[in-house]
Amino acid sequence: MDRSIKPSLTFQKFLKSISLVVVTIPIILLLPLISLIRFLGRLKSKDFMTFKQTHKTSYIKTYLIDEWLGEKEQAQSRRVFVYFLFPAFSAFTLFVIFPFVHGVFLSFTNWDGLNTGRETFVGLLNYQTIFKDLNFLYSLWRTVLYSGLNIVAINVVAFSLALLVTQQLKLKNIYRAGFFMPNLIGGLVLGYIWQFIFNRAVTTFGPGFENSLLADGSKAMFALIFVVTWQYAGYIMMIYIAAIQNIPQDLIEASTIDGANAFQRLKTITFPMVAQAFTVAMFLTLVTSFKQYDTVVSLTQGGPPQIMPVWFTNLFGQGGQVIANSTSLVSMNIYQTAFTHYQLGIGQAKAIVFFVFLLIISLLQVYYNKRKEIEL
């Protein structure tokens, strides 16, 4: 008897919670309008739109009156919170949420940028097209490869620099400023600067450096990783510095007295104490790496061309040699599809797939790092 009743009560609570969430969303959106109407109405009548609780009513009406529309302190506090949130939320809705929702709709059309208002709904055709596009799939693979290497490189360099500048050095503040300085340079400018360095300066070093790294499809990716690491490591270094400085000094001193060497202190004290900083830094470098565009445009323009690996073409049933750009990452592939070939519907579908892919990867990364924080 009890076993049959308990699941039923749990399911009822679940449905009740869902219904309250569904009701809350439109109330938050309409609350400023409701308050404005009530304010104008009360200029003539003090009792205009006065929400009072009655004895026999539904739990939804009770929730709305007690939590949002009534005169209780809790309802007033919630309304004030929404009033202060509304300007920023309105801007976020106008410039982020609405374009995103509209973009999802356009991904199901044949929009080319010129037929605005006359788009044809094509259903899932755009999504079927992009999963048959070998260049897009290859750019996705190259993006994953680049992001993995770039995340490791940036975090290793940033953490090493953070350990260096948190030691008792005389000019450590100057070192911090110097390491952070490249992050102040824009990605486009940075790419053109390093393009000159790789093409004109490095090639004069002597034998073995005659050919630019940017001219070799197998080396251009590593040149790009080097440039982005040089730019972004200083920013991530500041996050690690803040975490390292929060480590209690008496804990380090106690471990030193107990005979722990530098490596043991790093493993048993520093790593566990900066675990949260690792989560933040990994997330930032992950998102930045996957969205890399400006530096790629100015440094390599997506090139140079190279032959796709045989295993990759065989994986998708494509025989023969297929040429692709070695550093054409997903963001550049989306841009070229939308604004070079004027296939904005397909480009928008690629952007939606990229968003979902990046969302899943980011959530998995944060979940894994949070678990590691607990283990450490």
DSSP string, 100-136: HHHHHHHTTB---SS-TT---B-TTHHHHHHTT-HHH
Count CB-CB contacts under 10 A for residue 364.
11
pLDDT at 8: 61
This prediction's pTM: 0.82
Compute CA distances 173 → 162, 187, 249, 304, whole Å: 11, 25, 20, 40
pLDDT at 155: 96
DSSP E strand stretches across 151-268: none
In this prediction, what percent of the chain has a pLDDT beyond 90? Answer: 43
How does the average pLDDT of the chain come out, rounded? 87
The secondary structure of residue 308, as a DSSP letter, is: P
Lookup: tokens for 143: 């993006």
Q: For residues 220 and 303, is the Cβ–Cβ distance under 8 A? A: yes
Domains of the chain: 2-94 (no CATH), 127-375 (1.10.3720.10)
* Beta-ladder partners of 109: 121
Q: How do residues 177-236 score in pLDDT, each as one tens digit?
A: 999 999 999 889 999 999 999 999 988 887 778 888 898 888 899 999 999 999 999 999
ω before 304 within 30° of 0 (cis)? Answer: yes
Compute CA distances 237 → 155, 165, 248, 362, 365, whole Å: 8, 9, 19, 21, 20
pLDDT at 63: 85
d(CA 275, CA 19): 38
Lookup: tokens for 108: 């199901």
Q: How do residues 321-334 score in pLDDT, each as one tens digit?
A: 888 999 999 999 99
Q: How do residues 25-52 score in pLDDT, each as one tens digit?
A: 888 888 888 888 888 888 877 777 777 7
pLDDT at 1: 46
pLDDT for residue 169 is more than 90: no
pLDDT at 29: 82
d(CA 183, CA 234): 7
